[in-house]
Chain A
Amino acid sequence: KNEVEQSPQNLTAQEGEFITINCSYSVGISALHWLQQHPGGGIVSLFMLSSGKKKHGRLIATINIQEKHSSLHITASHPRDSAVYICAVGYGGATNKLIFGTGTLLAVQP
């Protein structure tokens, strides 16, 4: 069993829909990261959170430490949101290593 599980693996949505991507983890963590990867490879960090909720534009990330679960929400989705969304957990120590989920491929159709 993977230490970081994402669902769904693939998601197709219509423009304007509200989207939720889920991440569950089984290890103790210091922080949870949400990353975005567009076709072509480049990965950018969207959020890092260790409690509660963060919002940036149309993106919202939440985490429930007790349940070891995080969600990434996209409101009013747009075709430019089409990408792979990756959940990763940092598990402490001085080295800042992360454990990654396998990603959720999101396609938003116009």
Chain B
Amino acid sequence: DVKVTQSSRYLVKRTGEKVFLECVQDMDHENMFWYRQDPGLGLRLIYFSYDVKMKEKGDIPEGYSVSREKKERFSLILESASTNQTSMYLCASSLSSGGRRTQYFGPGTRLLVL
């Protein structure tokens, strides 16, 4: 059975803290994605990775960085958390190939920055 897991379901952090969100997939997928989801805005792509150590900025990369040292693991880093980064963060993975592959989502991490 396909599985994408995220390190935390809920997280509370203080402004200025460095925050690590981890995502692990067990499907040997090339592509991994980090999204944030806010009411009325839908899912927005922060970063994605198409191979180990390879990454590309998405639509809203400011304030975030990512790391993919192993194929199965994709980490999202908030270098200095701010209150406007309070959101639901969702990780997904897929095989490559042109929008015709199903993305498999993790359960999400609800982050509150105080």
Contact = CB atoms under 8 A, between A and B. Distances in A.
Contact of B100 (A44, A48, A102): A48
Contacts of B41: 102
Given A41-B90, A43-B105, A44-B105, A96 B97 contact: yes
Interface residues of B, number: 31
Interface string A65-100: 000000000000000000000101111111111101
A96 B101 contact: yes
A96 B43 contact: no
Contacts of B92: 43
Central interface residue in A33, A95, A102, by most chain B CB within 10 Å: A95
A89 B99 contact: yes
Contacts of B105: 42-44
Contact of B99 (A45, A91, A103): A91
B102 A45 contact: yes
A109 interface: no
22 contacts: A30-B99, A33-B102, A40-B107, A44-B105, A45-B102, A48-B101, A50-B100, A86-B43, A91-B99, A92-B99, A93-B99, A94-B50, A94-B96, A95-B31, A95-B48, A95-B96, A96-B97, A96-B98, A96-B101, A97-B48, A97-B58, A98-B99
Interface of A: 29-31, 33, 40-45, 48, 50, 86, 88-98, 100-103
Interface of B: 31, 33, 40-45, 48, 50, 56, 58, 88, 90, 92, 94-108, 110
Given A42-B105, A96-B98, 9 more contacts: A33-B102, A41-B90, A48-B101, A90-B101, A94-B97, A95-B98, A100-B43, A102-B42, A103-B42
Complex A-B, nearest 5 residue pairs according to Cβ-Cβ distance, in ascending order:
A90-B99, A41-B108, A30-B99, A43-B105, A102-B42
